Copies of this chain bind each other. A is one copy, B any other.
Amino acid sequence: MIQARTVAALREATDRIRAEGETLAFVPTMGCLHAGHLALVERARTEADRVVVSVFVNPSQFAPGEDLAAYPRVEEADCAKLEAAGVDIVFLPTEDALYPAGDQTIVELSAIPNHLCGLTRPIHFRGVATVCAKLFGAVGPDVVVFGEKDFQQLAVIRRMVSDLLLPIQVVGVATVREPDGLALSSRNQYLSPDERERACSLHRALRDAAERVADGERDAQTIRQHMEATLTESGSILDYVAVVDPETLDPLDTVEAEARALVAVQFGAARLIDNIALRPPA
């Protein structure tokens, strides 16, 4: 596995791959890798000849007061996992490599970020779109692989790639869960044992919503109220509980075609998010 810390070192490796006519799949991460990330790598290996993974905790997607400093960084362990998973190149850029002196270019979406996590994290998706545009520029992938857990992020990336006419296929991968349904997340380690136990309420609320819709419920308010009750009973503080269009993330009154339910809650120090597809009966 090649370790590249500069764009020049990365390009040297990717240029060689492209010169051999091979395709590249790319998985951007913030490190602290768990089985959810490794599922993305596994999928990437089926989508292209070679796999590039980046590990970079991107400052521009954290607001002051968020957990940028606390965000776990375990580079050696991450590289060992990626090597074992058959990754060809790991890109470990310094901040200067992605944000060179005088850097001033921002990539921003005007609608999708005005929902859900974008409301409590107003600069977050500008940071995500900008760093992903940079990483896509540096790597030049044929395919990029993102998890469905960060569903709004996936919607932002799909829209950005489409709007900027990038010759890149965007693949979303189903969320990997603990046996009790809790979605894997680097932020789960902020949970106390008691919070951890109660945190399975996110998936329980979402699965219940999906079952209601499959059974014919179409009223978004009713679906949301049931989810809110489940989450509140588990002792979490609600940020949002939403039923939305899966592409635009615009809120829905009625579920008439495939939709998405999304929740965000605070359990102690951990802000947890999760989501599920809502599929009405045919």
Contact = CB atoms under 8 A, between A and B. Distances in A.
Contacts of A138: 165
A260 B110 CA distance: 35
A162 B108 CA distance: 18
B105 A160 contact: yes
A184 interface: no
A103 interface: yes
A102 interface: yes
Contacts of A111: 102, 104
Instruction: Give the size range of A's interface with the partner.
Output: 20 to 34
Interface stretch (A42-50, A80-88, A129-137, A235-243): A129-137
Interface in A251-267: none
Nearest to A160: B105
Nearest to A7: B165
Contact of A109 (B104, B140, B165): B104
Most buried by B among A7, A138, A140, A163: A163
Given A100-B162, A102-B248, A167 B137 contact: yes
A159 interface: yes
Given A134-B164, A164-B137, A166-B137, A129 B109 contact: no
Interface in A135-168: 135, 137-138, 140, 159-160, 162-167
A108 to B, nearest CB: 5
A246 B276 CA distance: 52
B104 A107 contact: no
Given A102-B247, A137-B165, 16 more contacts: A7-B165, A99-B163, A102-B159, A104-B109, A104-B110, A104-B112, A105-B108, A105-B110, A105-B164, A106-B110, A107-B107, A133-B164, A134-B163, A135-B165, A137-B166, A137-B167
Interface of A: 7, 11, 98-100, 102-112, 129, 133-135, 137-138, 140, 159-160, 162-167, 247-248
19 contacts: A98-B165, A102-B111, A102-B247, A103-B163, A104-B110, A104-B111, A105-B108, A105-B109, A105-B159, A105-B160, A105-B163, A106-B108, A106-B109, A107-B107, A107-B164, A134-B163, A134-B164, A137-B165, A138-B165
